[in-house]
Chains A and B, each alone.
Chain A
């Protein structure tokens, strides 16, 4: 029995330790990748703590692809950073904000993109973006139990990388984001949209509660917030089944925390598919026009200068 236990430990322990060390080292390398919708590239900036932004953009892909900080900076004269997370609703966005806040300076303004999808609760999309950060305590707290990681991904060192394919994390380190923004140089491809009959508004209690807490915290920190309904192709807006409830829901938060709302869902470019690459997302040209318009409106309303 002693021999059995000794040999079992001798078999498992060195292998485990070796993989654990390799896992740690590989994670440092994997942080440099830009894969998974460029999410890791954005995490890299956030975790390094050198963003130093006065204005941060929050939202899903409809923030990531829509709000160009370079355009906005030229009008606002501030340093803007886009924290948009592709395919993710408010729950993930808020987690990212808290991690951002812990490692970066306090912003003066948050531009919070809102829409019919933001209050859903969905996890799992692009969960690989968190892989290089399993060694980080804040990231573990925020995502380890929330995301649908398998037991192997969670507890077996190197499993998540080997299983996913090491080359994915090694082969792609060209930078694509500009201050967190991803400009999409594509023309209209609305084919998938044609098959959608309706776009429902789904509200999760968990996400709503977290959103409320987040707004409360932001207010307590003295950070200004502006809600933005960014452009959607008008055909998609017409398919929204519950638009009144969407407006009423966000109006409730706006009233509660004294937040202005800017609505661009009826902006002139929403009627022209040449500014979109699909029904929900502007292309680079549309994003620059919209960012310009948004920055001018923020400046005109004096949101940054209000006491």
Chain B
């Protein structure tokens, strides 16, 4: 079920009413969350519910076994390893099998002239498999590392894995944050619910108005890169940069807002990343739940930053190669990851301080020249990265990037994306004003927003903007991951 579908607009109020008025009490509410989440996910293809159930069962059982073998580290290592292997095998089969066999085939063909026939199989990628697999892994690793006690309640564990607001595109929750919320009674909090609705509204605006419209232009023109002038290619890159941000952070806003209606606080996933002053800062603000996951479960165990400079750089490259692969079974994603790893290594090698304590232009309306240049450079690098990310093959990515410098700079065949570019800029302008908040519609103590009429006027205006500008419905980009 898509957030931007009629089904969801019927589903959400029904589940909300059942949750707060019919299924009273924590256990019943957890049961309802599981049932609702399975309906939500099964709306696409009910057969893939079996995969979520298997993942949930394995991780739940691993938690119990880890507790059972308390004090027997060898057994615990074995249990933890088995759980990781099972989860990653499922992920590998459904997401990477064809990619690796095709790559192996190409390698054998080019090195030995040997060609394997019929090595690929027709596998449908289950929506959001990377998200819930990582969420399940985080639980068993945390239990193994004794950051969390294993749960004995199968319902609350299934609810934790399948919680519908964030099931298919995150945020990738940690068991240490979300699971305890299923273990305690929830009380309806008016302020939290209202703010959740606001965040959802902002998410819908991002998705419907900016992401979907930019998607149409990008999809229509992307393949014509050899004929378009450089300025249009850069515009396409910028439009895709807006699209992916508004698509993914829009989804996260809706997910977080939706969870708040049910009394849950999910972790923040985006923190206005395009206002970053460096690539390291960008990655502390973009898809936070994934970058911190990699930091905690791969980067730190490899030694993190507490080792020699070259080891740090090696660790960065390992993490970003895996991160690229997590995004999709294509070399473009791996190269995109390595592109960012290179940038991060450069920042590291030159010892550029990127640990800013405050948001950009803190206490000021406009950034200073240095901050503007830093943000401009970071945005430009992000655009280059997203062009690699969007390309279907590395050849296409390379040709696109070279066309940006070799094609005519300007001619009449401009891309028709001016309106959507302006919409994207307008949206970023609002976010700039609210950059010290959790989301753009979180009203602070400004006197104007104390009047309900002003706030409601803003909400109605956003709804009418969605009425006017909503693009043709597109699925969320990150569903494929």
Contacts and interface: CB of A to CB of B under 8 A. Distances in A.
Nearest to A162: B467
B92 to A, nearest CB: 37
Interface residues of A, number: 16
Interface in B190-212: 190, 193-194, 197
A31 B5 CA distance: 29
Interface string B442-481: 0000000000000010011001100110100100000000
Contacts of A8: 197
Contact of A163 (B188, B456, B467): B467
Contact of A3 (B190, B459, B463): B190
Contacts of B190: 1, 3-4
A47 to B, nearest CB: 26
Contacts of A7: 194
Contact of A158 (B5, B193, B460, B467): B467
A119 B197 CA distance: 49
Contacts of B20: 1
B464 A162 contact: yes
B5 A151 contact: yes
B194 A4 contact: yes
B460 A162 contact: no
Contacts of B188: 1, 4
A163 B194 contact: no
A176 B463 CA distance: 36
21 contacts: A1-B20, A1-B188, A3-B190, A4-B188, A4-B190, A4-B194, A7-B194, A8-B197, A11-B456, A15-B463, A150-B473, A152-B467, A152-B470, A155-B6, A156-B467, A162-B464, A162-B467, A162-B468, A163-B467, A163-B468, A163-B470
A271 interface: no
Contacts, number: 29
A7 B470 CA distance: 26
B468 A15 contact: no
Contacts of A150: 473
A159 interface: yes
Contacts of A151: 5-6
Given A4-B190, A15-B463, A163-B467, 4 more contacts: A1-B20, A1-B190, A159-B467, A162-B467
Nearest to B13: A8
A293 B77 CA distance: 91
Interface string B389-413: 0000000000000000000000000
A143 B417 CA distance: 33
A155 to B, nearest CB: 7
Q: Which 3 A-B pairs have the closest CB atoms?
A: A151-B6, A162-B467, A1-B188
Contacts of B460: 15
A8 B464 CA distance: 17
A6 to B, nearest CB: 11
A8 B197 CA distance: 10
Contacts of A4: 188, 190, 193-194
A148 to B, nearest CB: 11
A29 B281 CA distance: 54
A151 B3 CA distance: 13
Interface string B1-44: 00001100000000000001000000000000000000000000
Interface residues of B, number: 17
Nearest to A161: B467
Interface of chain A, main secondary structure: helix
Contacts of B456: 11
A4 B193 CA distance: 8
A148 B456 CA distance: 33
Interface in A131-168: 150-152, 155-156, 158-159, 162-163
A3 B5 CA distance: 27
A4 B191 CA distance: 9
Nearest to A150: B473
Nearest to A152: B470
Contacts of B6: 151, 155
Interface string A18-29: 000000000000
A11 B459 contact: yes
A11 B193 CA distance: 15
| Chain B CB within 10 A, most for which of A3, A155, A162 | A162
Nearest to B17: A5
A150 B190 CA distance: 33
A233 B467 CA distance: 44
Nearest to B193: A4
Nearest to A156: B467
A211 B194 CA distance: 54
A150 to B, nearest CB: 7
Nearest to B452: A7
A159 B465 CA distance: 11
A3 B193 CA distance: 11
B191 to A, nearest CB: 10
A135 to B, nearest CB: 19
A151 B472 CA distance: 11
Nearest to B464: A162
A3 B456 CA distance: 16
Nearest to B20: A1
Nearest to A159: B467
Contacts of A156: 467
Contacts of A162: 464, 467-468
A1 B20 CA distance: 9
A64 to B, nearest CB: 28
A155 B470 CA distance: 15
B360 to A, nearest CB: 34
A1 B194 CA distance: 11
Interface in A1-57: 1, 3-4, 7-8, 11, 15
Contacts of A159: 467
A166 to B, nearest CB: 9
Contacts of A11: 456, 459
Nearest to A164: B468
Interface string B428-452: 0000000000000000000000000
Contacts of B459: 11
B24 to A, nearest CB: 12
A27 to B, nearest CB: 16
Interface string A169-213: 000000000000000000000000000000000000000000000
Nearest to A160: B467
Interface in B407-429: none
A15 B467 CA distance: 13
Nearest to A15: B460
B8 to A, nearest CB: 10
Nearest to A157: B467
Contacts of B473: 150
A162 B463 CA distance: 11
Nearest to B473: A150
A252 to B, nearest CB: 40
B3 to A, nearest CB: 13
Contacts of B464: 162
A5 to B, nearest CB: 9
B15 to A, nearest CB: 15
Contacts of A155: 6
